[in-house]
Amino acid sequence: MKEKIEHEIYDTKVELGDWRSSASVLGLIRYFTFLRDDLGRKDIKFNFDLLDDKNSDYIEYNSNEITRENYLLFAERVFGSEMHHTELEKFFERDEFSENEIKFIKEKLKKNEIMKKLFKGITYENLEEAKRILDIKENRLEIIENTFKNGISQYRNFCNPNAIFSEGNKSCRINGYSVDMPKKGKSASYMQDMNTFVYKDALEYDFIPFAFTITYNAYFINNNYSNDSLISAFDNLESEQNKRFDEDKNQKKRQNKFYRGALFESVKGNASFLDYDVEVITKNRDNDYFESLYVRKKSIEMFKLLSDKNIKINGLFKVNEKFYIDFEKEVINGILNLTNLDNLILKLLKYDRGVGAMIKVNRLIHKTIIDIEDLGKETQRNIYKNELGGKEMSKNYKDTISCGIEVKKSIKDKNKIKSYKNKLITAISFKDYNQFNLVLMKLSDYSGIGFKFAFDLFKDFEGNINLAYSFINALNEYSEEGKTVNTKIEGEK
């Protein structure tokens, strides 16, 4: 990861590698770029060769440029929205405040220990004094340091706050890799011999927080083929997040769901130059460890196909006051793990809500599960396209939906339709396909309508199970064309 080098300008080199090294490099690149562009340090010297060599996989710099002051100013720049004093500054140039604003200011003045200490005795009526205190550089740096290293969404979320700015530690500072040596050092060592304890720590790990998203579930895309690809992945993710915030400010309240979707929109956007599986590191604020998520090439292609076909899955479906179905989360998990959405579709059918878009995604997943590794890329792409919108496939599904609509027109008794629908759902839920086919034949006889699609089910039910879902969905009271109600699911028309 890190090595000392002999050079007339640089003395340190850090290479891309495991996620810790890659995140450190990304954080360092952002840090030095901040010094040059935001602080106006035109003399700053660092090298990651993006202009000359897009395949470079390292950064070289002078370690003397990493100072407490510069680091803290950078932390304020990146995590400013999470810091109390930056929120307070918004009120410095104002004279009048609403009751809610007064309450907000009072809370910010006492939000943590350092704020209480420096702003003791200050109220909303004398914010000029608070401004004067903040204008003193050392006061500001002290506030930034204490807020940043102890903030649950900031440094503390990623590293041991007691290790910030330190070197020569006896344990790694990264959460999940850090060990309390006095208490647990022996248990972490071979044969309880402290001399056998192996660890890796570096000052550069302090830059890991700047490689992640500032969200409840924080993400880092370890696209470590090169610095260029690493930066592109980060920029695409940040752009997608900002886009979603601009579209719906209220989604900030649903960050867990919201940013997971933004993450995979970003990964999908990189599909054109990704020809390999991608590692995504996640850090939940409730956990003291990191998790790895591997996005396979197949999954990336599936995300891209959904976009190409304008199939958008987002929104929540309220079942009751305590239970919501998160469409985006369910679909993303299905695509990532190549597991079908059968259980989700069955739930939605029971709640009498359309699942047209879900069935389209399910068709794609079902087809992808089939082993087609030996087929050429063009053949593979054609299979996917046919599953999502080929003429033959589309006609088959349209005919199935038409049958369901004709049944509703033929049978005027809604309770009778509901009874048949529930029997079909029960049979398919218990995977009693013979019973499903029996009920289907009875319904055909009762309505006087022939079901051509039934022959596909008789021949291979599991292979054509999405036809069964489409038919049941067409029987729903609120869905005559496979569209959903009271959700934000959209599908191709």
The DSSP result for 349-405, as a single string, is HHTT---HHHHHHHHHHHHHHS--TTS-HHHHHHHHHHHHH-HHHHHHHHHHHHHHH
Question: Does 61 fall in a domain?
Answer: yes
Residue 2 near residue 13, CB atoms below 8 Å: yes
CA distance 449 to 446: 8
Residue 298 and residue 350 in one domain:
no
Given a cut of 80, whether residue 204 has pLDDT beyond it is yes
Given a cut of 90, whether residue 214 has pLDDT beyond it is no
pTM of the model: 0.72
Residue 416 and residue 440 in one domain:
yes
Residue 459 and residue 386 in one domain:
yes
Q: Which of 188-197, 205-214, 245-254 bottoms out in mean pLDDT, i.e. has the lowest? A: 188-197
Q: Which of 73-82, 260-269, 363-372 bottoms out in mean pLDDT, i.e. has the lowest? A: 363-372
Q: What is the mean pLDDT of residues 158-187?
A: 77
> So what's the pLDDT on residue 341?
87
Q: Which CA distances in Å does 365 have to 72, 122, 264, 306, 380?
A: 47, 60, 16, 11, 13
Q: What is the mean pLDDT of residues 6-22?
A: 91
> In the sheet where 58-61 sits, what is the strand order?
2-4, 12-15, 58-61, 46-47
Q: What is the mean pLDDT of residues 447-470?
A: 91
Q: Which element (helix H / strand E) includes 476?
A: none
Question: Does 159 fall in a domain?
Answer: no
Residue 318's φ and ψ, nearest 5 degrees, are -85, 115
Decide which of 303, 332, 361 is a domain's last residue.
332
At 269, the pLDDT band (50, 70, 90 cuts) reads: low
Question: Does 35 fall in a domain?
Answer: yes
Decide which of 288, 316, 332 is a domain's last residue.
332
The distance of Cα 119 from the centroid of its chain, to the nearest Å, equals: 38
Q: Which of 84-93, 128-137, 179-188, 228-237 bottoms out in mean pLDDT, i.e. has the lowest? A: 179-188
Q: Which of 167-171, 247-251, 375-379, 413-417 bottoms out in mean pLDDT, i.e. has the lowest? A: 375-379
Question: Does 170 fall in a domain?
Answer: no
219 SS3 class: strand
> So what's the pLDDT on residue 199?
63
Given a cut of 80, whether residue 188 has pLDDT beyond it is no
Residue 77 near residue 71, CB atoms below 8 Å: no
User: Using DSSP, how many helices (H) and how many strands (E) does the chain show?
Assistant: 21, 9
Residue 402 and residue 301 in one domain:
no
Q: What is the mean pLDDT of residues 457-478?
A: 86
Q: Which of 167-176, 189-198, 396-405, 428-437 bottoms out in mean pLDDT, i.e. has the lowest? A: 189-198
Tokens of 79: 């995590």
Residue tagged 């918004």 (tokens): 90
- Straight-line distance from the first to the last Cα atom of the chain, in angstroms, rounded to the nearest whole number: 51
Residue 231 and residue 327 in one domain:
yes
At 131, the pLDDT band (50, 70, 90 cuts) reads: very high
Beta strands at 12-15 and 58-61: parallel, antiparallel or unpaired: antiparallel
| Residue type for position 258 | F
Question: Does 463 fall in a domain?
Answer: yes
Given a cut of 70, whether residue 252 has pLDDT beyond it is no
Residue range 326-337, pLDDT digits in tens: 777 788 888 888
At 267, the pLDDT band (50, 70, 90 cuts) reads: low
% of the chain residues with pLDDT over 70: 76
Q: What is the mean pLDDT of residues 298-315?
A: 73
Residue 382 and residue 416 in one domain:
yes
In terms of residue numbers, what domain contains 294? Answer: 208-332
CA distance 473 to 492: 16
Residue 222 and residue 232 in one domain:
yes
> So what's the pLDDT on residue 390?
46
Given a cut of 80, whether residue 307 has pLDDT beyond it is no
Q: Which of 165-169, 199-203, 301-305 has the highest mean pLDDT?
A: 165-169
Residue range 215-251, pLDDT digits in tens: 888 889 898 888 888 898 898 888 877 777 666 555 4
> So what's the pLDDT on residue 197?
38
Residue 218 and residue 239 in one domain:
yes
36 SS3 class: helix
Total structural domains within the chain: 3
Question: Does 342 fall in a domain?
Answer: yes
Residue 404 and residue 458 in one domain:
yes
CA angle 49, 52, 56 (to 5 degrees): 45
Residue 278 and residue 293 in one domain:
yes
At 324, the pLDDT band (50, 70, 90 cuts) reads: confident
Residue 307 and residue 365 in one domain:
no
Question: Does 107 fall in a domain?
Answer: no
- With CA atoms as reference, report the closest residue to 78 among 263, 211, 189: 211
CA distance 287 to 368: 33
> So what's the pLDDT on residue 200?
81
Residue range 148-161, pLDDT digits in tens: 999 999 999 999 99
Residue 149 near residue 156, CB atoms below 8 Å: yes
Across the chain, mean pLDDT equals: 80
Residue predicted with more confidence, 247 or 446: 446
Residue 460 and residue 411 in one domain:
yes
Question: Does 327 fall in a domain?
Answer: yes
Given a cut of 80, whether residue 399 has pLDDT beyond it is yes
Q: Which of 14-23, 428-437, 478-487 bottoms out in mean pLDDT, i.e. has the lowest? A: 478-487
Residue 72 near residue 148, CB atoms below 8 Å: yes
